[in-house]
Structure 1
Amino acid sequence: MAVSARRGAPLTPEEICSTALRLVEEGGVEALSMRKLAAALDVNPMSLYHHVENKTALITQICQTMARRLDLLPERPGLPWQRRLRDLAHAYRRLVHRYPSLWSYIHTHPEVISGHQGGMWDVLYPILADAGVPQEERTRTADVLHGFVAGLMLTERQGALGREDPAEADRAFETAIDMIIRGLPRP
């Protein structure tokens, strides 16, 4: 780890990612620069390159670690799949509200996400199995569910839901989750 003469403590990948994420949420992905990040960390900009190749690699890294920030409830085998799916949907919505700039960036730059691994996918696939979705249909079903919820979140973020009454967005979200649950097969 590189140690800055100014700060005297080694940089950590988590500190770099957390600070970069904060800067992205304050000004958008376009406003993030390695110089601004270095200033926020109180290090020489060159010391960042000991940890990350460039800004593109940094953005990819924070996008991929975003899934780990999803406040997922531990797998609770006693709960029905419907409750677990609802909990996952709400955790996803909280993440969108917490990191709207990065979430928007991810959905306009899908290349920064690598497949269906980690985070919500590790929770969603067992839920789909318990819901009776056949193994060969789970990836497509997961993609459709994600697209449905992401579209709803985009509509909410753009102000089309809850503009007059913020509680309307909450009601719309609950209606969408109810529709998803009713639409999945029963085991």
Structure 2
Amino acid sequence: MARDDILATALAMLDEGGGQGLTMRSLASRLGVTPMTLYHHVEDRAGLLRALSDRVYGEVLEVTGDARDPIAEVRALLVRYHDVVGKHPQLTLAIFSEPQAFAGVTRQITERLDAMLATVTPDFVLWRDILVDHAHGSGLAIVSGRGDWLQVDALRERYAQALDRLLGMLVR
């Protein structure tokens, strides 16, 4: 049993049925192994969620805007983050319900956002919270449009417009 197989199956289970249905026992059953087999690859459910978030949210850190323009860089990071939240909303909700899972890449995203915003405003923590909460709310709303790509695209466009408005307020 490979770690990649475990993570891929766990993510599929989250996407299908939500965070509450993902237990070590249910994952082991889906994979046709004993739960103890999983513990050789992840220490517990929080560790499983950390590994999933590192895999899924890792691509958010790869995307940057113009390093000479911190607002453009913040925008690029948040748009990418919003897209990932919209693609895997149940992972985001599972991380909310398991605070120990907030580590690794998710913490790095927060730290990078703090650093970029600190170059623009002394209230960077407040703005980070506003911007991240907006990304979460709008990204989770995409679930309602699944199956209708025109609606999903419209929700993404509205998010980008609202984000631009918020970022415009930030630099006044």
Q: TM-score when scaled to structure 2?
A: 0.73
Identity, % of aligned positions: 26
* TM-superposed deviation, 1:142: 0.9
Instruction: Please tell me whether the aligned partners of residues 70 and 91 of structure 1 are also in contact (alpha carbons under 8 angstroms).
Output: yes
Per residue, is there more helix in 1 or in 2? 2
Q: Distance in 1 between matches of 2:141 and 2:16?
A: 21
Deviations 1:31-71 (A, max 9, x none): 22334423554543322123334435433553466432436
Does the C-alpha gap of structure 1 residues 156 and 76 become closer, same or farther in structure 2, counting only changes over 3 Å? same
Q: Distance in 1 between matches of 2:98 and 2:33?
A: 31
| Runs of at least 5 residues in structure 1 that lack an aligned partner in the other structure | 1-9
2:116 aligned with 1:127, yes or no?
yes
- RMSD of aligned residue pairs (Cα, Å): 3.3
Number of aligned positions between the proteins: 168
Instruction: Please tell me whether the aligned partners of residues 72 and 91 of structure 1 are also in contact (alpha carbons under 8 angstroms).
Output: no
**Match among 139, 142, 152 for residue 138 of structure 2:** 152
Instruction: Please tell me whether the aligned partners of residues 75 and 123 of structure 1 are also in contact (alpha carbons under 8 angstroms).
Output: no
Q: For residue 27 of structure 2, what is the amino acid of its counterpart?
A: L
Higher relative contact order (CA 8 A, sep 6+): 2
Give the structure with higher Rg (CA).
Answer: 1
2:102 aligned with 1:113, yes or no?
yes
Match of 2:168 in 1: 182
Q: Distance in 2 between matches of 1:171 and 1:46?
A: 45
Q: TM-score when scaled to structure 1?
A: 0.69
| Residues 46-61 of structure 1 mapped to structure 2, 5 A cutoff | 46-59=36-49, 61=51
